[in-house]
Structures are given as C-alpha cells and as structure tokens.
Amino acid sequence: QLQLVESGGGLVHSGGSLRLSCAASGFTLDYYSIGWFRQAPGKEREGVSCISRSGAMTNYADSVKGRFTISRDNAKRTVYLQMNSLKPEDTGVYYCAAGRGADVQAMCALSARYLETWGQGTLVTVSS
C-alpha cells in the first residue's frame, strides 16, 4: 500500500515562502498522479495543485496561480509544493494524495476516483 508523509509546514508571515514535501513509500511513485489539497478550520477541503505521473501536466487553483509551483522527483519518490508570496488565506492543513489517472483537473476538483491514498497533513499558518 502506498503511504504518503507530508512535511515542511510551519508558521510564516504574509509574503513569506515555504516548501512542502510529500514523501512516498510502499510502491513506485510514478504509478500515481499526486495532488496537494488544503483545509482551513470549518471549511471544505479544496484542491491546490496536482501533477501527473510524469510531471508533464499540472493544475493549479486560481487562488494560487503564479505563487505556487508543484514538482516531482520520482527517483526520490517525493513531490514538492513551493509556496511563495503566502497570504493569510493560505492557512490550513495541507494534505497530499495519490491516485491513478491522467486528468489532473479532475483530481484537483476532488473527483473521488482519482484519490486513493492520503497523507496525514502538515499545518501551514500564515500570519498577517
């Protein structure tokens, strides 16, 4: 069973940067598309950014375009989310998830058939 562990969260001031990592174990990572999702207290989980198996296709939520960059290193079995120009609205628990399928837009829209395995999450807090 594929397992995912997130790291890199923390407290940062508005305008700062963080890089999140999603480390995979259990199976070869390149079988899976990977997505980053976040959930603020009392709010619905939302898709942030997703990346295809090869890394050729990516998707970003409108709210993070131009600020966040998703990438993957299948040899290292790790997916990254570089977050720049952070805003208080970015605060939440960030989760990575894995699934099979090529439609990264659907994955980021939380289409259940693309989401098989979730990590435990890492907390990102952006102060104003």
pLDDT on residue 127: 97
Query: What does the radius of gyration of the chain's CA atoms come to, in whole angstroms?
Result: 13
pLDDT digits over 38-54, tens only?
999 899 999 999 999 98
- Tell me how far apart the alpha carbons of residues 44 and 123 are, in angstroms, rounded to a whole number: 15
**Mean pLDDT taken over the chain:** 94
- Tell me how far apart the alpha carbons of residues 64 and 48 are, in angstroms, rounded to a whole number: 7
pLDDT on residue 79: 96
